[in-house]
Chains A and B, each alone.
Chain A
Amino acid sequence: MALIQISEPGQSSAEQKHHLAAGIDLGTTNSLVATVRDGQPETLADADGHHLLPSAVQYSPDASPLTGRAAKDKSSVDPQNTILSVKRLMGRGMADIEKSNDRLSYQFINEDSTVPRIKTAGGNVSPIEVSAEILTALKKRAEKELGDELEGVVVTVPAYFDDAQRQATKDAAKLAGLNILRLLNEPTAAAIAYGLESQSEGVYAIYDFGGGTFDISILRLNRGVFEVLATAGDSALGGDDLDHVITDWLIESSGLNKEIGQNQYRELWHQACQAKERLSQQDVVELSVKIEAAPVWQGTLSRTQLNELIDPLIRKTLAPCRRALRDAGVTVEDIDEIVMVGGSTRAPRVRELVGEFYGKNPLVSIDPDRIVALGAAIQADILIGNKSHEDILLLDVIPLSLGIETMGGLVEKVIRRNTTIPITRAQEFTTFKDGQTAMSVHVLQGERELVVDCRSLAKFELHDIPPMVAGAARIRVTFQVDADGLLSVTAQETTTHAESHVEVKPSYGLEDAEIERMLKDSISHASEDVEARNVREQQVEADRVLFALDAALQSDGNTLLTKEELSKIADASSVLRQARNESNAATIKKAIKDLDKETMEFAARRMDKSIHKALTGHSVTEFNEEN
């Protein structure tokens, strides 16, 4: 596909420093990395010219893990140690995995962590570590191709991913040593790539049916603003499920009982995948099942039969389609275009049923595999500051409601689904015992009324509440969802203004200490010094702080600050400048913190000024925009 040229006219790219940034589509079946070069987004290929990296990792006792094609090739011969579709396990607990229909060929170990580990010949690994291997492979590919280290990446996630699944993805990127600029919702990424290419305006439905997840997003495109009106989906429904019903049919038809070995199952599964793909082109396929090279069954699968098998699953995607329309406040007639994304939308039956639902043919001219990575690359390029699309604005939403547990196992909603992010909501609590100094807030995500029907995210334990009589303390708990769709919680006692310490106990995520340990492990594998890495990270932050401060002082220092304030800031920044060159992470960190305190008021005044400036002279721009 050809995307429009977006570099500014009259400004050659050599005039300003080009920052290396990439977009990564971390998919269930395949993953991709893309970047913007000379104003054009493009996916990057490996040495053999392949763009898609199969999301497969194979572990062995003594060598480092294999990824991609090499790993996928081992999946039938070494199913216990070859991890496929790991995305389906991200942010999930043992109970979820046992409940799912997936026939997983690996053994799980539920140690003392809330994150299950997979037992492999290369040790016990969490889904986060497996994903980090895939990300590392893509990072290496990009850095080899671009000739230098990546400064930042945008990683895509299904729009319908909950908080735990998003956090797990972010942790994986951190583990792979990537500086993550933003988690971007896959349908939104597709909308950016498509919207910029076609320069379209209007209301779009992005139907994203991938290997393991389904998303539907309704967006309004208007003068460079991509506003998500609503999103819905199913984070455990994808092409994998289609393959499983075909595999089960194959097993049943060939008279093999379901207790066949893992190797045999994976082989049949491969056959099922191929049959599904071939039936996109032809009306009937011949199949033959062999055991140890001896044929045991021969038969055919027609497209009509296939449709009967997969129809119930495809129809499951239509309920979210209806709900998204309702939540967006639009009707099918309002939809200007339906954009199909994800490998599963290649199936003609999917296009047919989606077309029927919307009463109009979906757009299939774009490459459904690559569009998400291309959109992510464009967003990464903007965020890192390669100023090609200065006025683009992305407004996304939270896919699932956030609530807290109240008396009787009920959930009270704090933030409703499809609220534009970032968002903050405050809720007041009080103590019910004299002298109570701690309390626990259980946060859940989902739409149902009962705690048991929602997904537990975390228990936030508030400590250091000043002791008072029962009911006297007023604890204001603030829930904040950032632009990545991730939740954080802070708490304050409002009568004494005492800041409560909040301890997070994630229900299905890694605790900070675990991430720290994994990071250390991964670094020691890479034979890199942990302290050296910490120092480098702090230096990067110090440079960022100093650079931003210099620019801020240049434009607003004299107008927004008194002489006294200026000199205090100058002192604190020279302390940081000096600390930056000494190789001690703790010293740099402290100097950043001190400067941060000194500049807090300045930053707030600048933000207010910026808001004020945005609307002065608005009558002129509005006149232009409305005419």
Chain B
Amino acid sequence: MQNYFELFDLPVSFDVDPDMLAVRYRTLQQHVHPDKYVTSSAQERRLSIQHAAHINDAFEALKNPLKRAQYLLELKGMAVNESGAGLDHGFLMEQMELRETLEAIPEAEDPLAALDHFLAEISNYEKEFVETLRSQFAVSTEESLSQANIAVKKLQFINKLKEETIELEDQLY
């Protein structure tokens, strides 16, 4: 089975040109999407669903920086676990403070505005860790990859926080 980068004929790298990725994704789907096989045999329809699903997975994994980093580390035999091991004290304290801010949002004077503000703050953290990933993957030594591993873990924390914030938004509105 081709890896995701080979599937899109892109170099194995954290830096992916989003426009090129999107163009190639669409080109591939033009050829395998189930809509192109509606009048084909059941066998071809089955195959088309499998391939289209694989291409969707691959696109999602390369489009999203967190997933792309996870996938790159997996390719290098360094799959990231969910544990908090290896994270520095400062980061964990920050996380606790962010959680407290999140919990206080429903009591804010204008909860939706507070929530928007909080999401913007999270997004800054996101950008910071994505930048870390970019520079560590660019070096790509054993040491820098283990740094990337930690950045992925941090990004997972931030991502979880973002999901919970959006869930809260659903309840507030």
Contacts and interface: CB of A to CB of B under 8 A. Distances in A.
Given A482-B34, A611-B31, A603 B49 contact: no
Contact of B53 (A152, A423, A548, A622): A423
A483 B37 CA distance: 11
A326 B39 CA distance: 37
Contacts of A421: 56
16 contacts: A382-B35, A394-B35, A419-B60, A447-B167, A483-B52, A541-B42, A544-B41, A548-B40, A596-B42, A596-B43, A607-B48, A611-B32, A615-B24, A618-B9, A618-B23, A621-B27
Contacts of B59: 420
B78 interface: no
Contacts of B41: 541, 544-545, 548-549, 596
Q: Which 3 A-B pairs have the closest CB atoms?
A: A545-B41, A319-B173, A483-B34
Nearest to B51: A607
Given A182-B35, A548-B41, A422 B53 contact: yes
Contacts of A395: 29, 33
Interface stretch (A9-17, A246-254, A383-391): A383-391
A596 B35 CA distance: 21
Interface in A508-560: 541, 544-545, 548-549
Interface string A197-235: 000000000000000000000000010010000000000
Nearest to B165: A326
Contacts of B32: 607, 610-611
A531 B24 CA distance: 47
Interface in A420-443: 420-424
Nearest to B112: A322
Contacts of B52: 422, 483
Contacts of A182: 35, 38
Nearest to B41: A545
Interface of A: 152, 181-182, 222, 225, 318-319, 322-323, 326, 382-385, 391, 393-395, 419-424, 447, 480, 482-483, 541, 544-545, 548-549, 596, 599-600, 603-604, 607, 610-611, 613-615, 618, 621-622, 625-626
B31 A483 contact: no
B56 to A, nearest CB: 5
Contacts of A480: 49, 53
A484 to B, nearest CB: 9
B74 interface: no
Contacts of B8: 615
B27 A384 contact: no
Contacts of A625: 23
B170 interface: yes
A544 B40 contact: yes
B31 A323 contact: no
B60 to A, nearest CB: 7
Contacts of A385: 38-39
A554 to B, nearest CB: 15
B33 A393 contact: yes
Given A548-B40, A604-B47, A622 B57 contact: no
A323 B169 CA distance: 8
B107 interface: no
B56 A548 contact: no
Interface string B46-89: 01111111101101100000000000000000000000000000
Contacts of A326: 166, 169
A423 to B, nearest CB: 5
B30 to A, nearest CB: 6
Nearest to A385: B39
B53 A424 contact: yes
A482 B33 CA distance: 10
Nearest to B29: A393
Interface string B1-42: 000000111000000000110011011111111110011111
A485 to B, nearest CB: 12
A625 B40 CA distance: 30
Contacts of B30: 391, 393, 614
B57 A423 contact: yes
Contacts of B38: 152, 181-182, 383-385
